[in-house]
Every structure is written in structure tokens, then in C-alpha cells.
Chain A
Amino acid sequence: GNSVTQMEGPVTLSEEAFLTINCTYTATGYPSLFWYVQYPGEGLQLLLKATKADDKGSNKGFEATYRKETTSFHLEKGSVQVSDSAVYFCPRVGELVFGKGTKLTVNP
């Protein structure tokens, strides 16, 4: 069946550092993949998505590429800011499971 494995945190970085949060999946076919973000005190919001293999989703400087050869959808950002401090979720495909997420803290 479908599953997603997300790197658990926490992750602590200095401002302007490079960020990678790993997410790998197993699925039948090539389903849509998502990253959600939850800022402190708020609900989750969609950060980016990719609907087919080799698609790249991007938003707010974050990117993730749907790589079928490595079955991965890693989240990356070249230069993080303090305002990126949040919890990031790579939910299980087609199911209502978000996991614990990865908590990112960016220090000035």
C-alpha cells in the first residue's frame, strides 16, 4: 500500500543556511504529493505540491521535486529565514495521515 517516510526533527539552523527535509514514499502509480506547513498557533497550510513524476513544486523559496527514480519528494530551501520556523508535514499519499512532522527552528 501507500506510505510516506518523513525525516523527523527537530532541525535547528542558522539564518541563511540551506535546508533539506527528507520525504520518501511508496505508492502504486504516481499520486500527487504535498508539503504542508504549520506556523506556531495556526492550522496547517499547503506549502507546495507536485502532481506527477518529475514535477517541481515551489512556493516562498521552498522547492520539492517529485523524483520517481528515488521515490522522494525532499523539501529544500537555499537560504532559510527566522520566519520559516514552523513544523513541516509530508502527508501519506491518499490517506488522512500527517505524521509528527519536522520542526524547524531558524536562529538569527
Chain B
Amino acid sequence: DTGVSQDPRHKITKRGQNVTFRCDPISEHNRLYWYRQTLGQGPEFLTYFQNEAQLEKSRLLSDRFSAERPKGSFSTLEIQRTEQGDSAMYLCASSLTGINIQYFGAGTRLSVL
């Protein structure tokens, strides 16, 4: 078990560009979560999946954000037309249904110039 892995660890992009992040959860975990964390704040929930179904989305997840988990394994988070306000750490976590312990990846740090 290698834990939750996220790729890339760092991403620098120019305003207006699209970016995509990947998360590989712990293999037997059926739930996968995305959070955003800005400096000095805790993680803010964005969305979560149970298997391939996206069950909940936060109001923070604007139309420019889309997340997928097509085969119920890895997930991608895409941000279109990035804005400077999107600069943050994007965290992924996974868990098993019925067990409320989330295992986090190290995150992808996005900087929008």
C-alpha cells in the first residue's frame, strides 16, 4: 500500500490556461475526496466520489472546475481558464465507506501567475 498519491506536486501556470491534476487513492478505497487549501486555512471540501459516482459538490466548485473518476479508481480535477484566486494547495483523500478515516495525499500546489 503506497498511500494516496497526487501528481504533479507543483504546477505553475499562466492565468487563463487549463490545468489538470491527478489523484490515485489507496487501491481498495471506494471513496475519493478533493479539497482546496489556502495559506493559513484548513482544507475546504470541493467534491467527493463513491466509486465512479460524484455524490456531492461544494458551492466552491465553480463551473470552471470539473472532477472525474471514470473507472472508480484514479480521479482527475480540471480547472479551466485559471484565475489568480485559484492558487492554492489541492488535496486528495480516500476512504472506505462506513469508516470515517480519510487518508490524504501530499497535495498539488498550484500557482497561477
Contacts and interface: CB of A to CB of B under 8 A. Distances in A.
Interface of A: 32, 34, 41-46, 49, 87, 89, 94, 96-101
- The secondary-structure label for the interface of chain B is loop
A98 B101 contact: no
Interface of B: 4, 33, 35, 40-43, 45, 48, 56, 91, 93, 100-107
B101 A44 contact: no
Contacts of B104: 43-45
Contacts of A99: 42
A100 B91 contact: no
A100 B42 contact: yes
Contacts of B4: 43
A100 B41 contact: yes
Given A43-B107, A96-B48, A34 B101 contact: yes
A98 B105 contact: no
Contacts of B107: 42-43
A43 B105 contact: yes
Given A96-B48, A98-B43, A101-B42, A43 B101 contact: no
- The secondary-structure label for the interface of chain A is loop
Contact of A46 (B41, B45, B103): B103
B91 A43 contact: yes
B17 to A, nearest CB: 25
Nearest to A43: B104
B40 A42 contact: no
B30 to A, nearest CB: 16
Contacts of B105: 43
A11 to B, nearest CB: 14
B42 A98 contact: yes
Contact of A34 (B40, B91, B100, B103): B100
A90 B1 CA distance: 26
Contacts of A32: 100
A98 B93 CA distance: 13
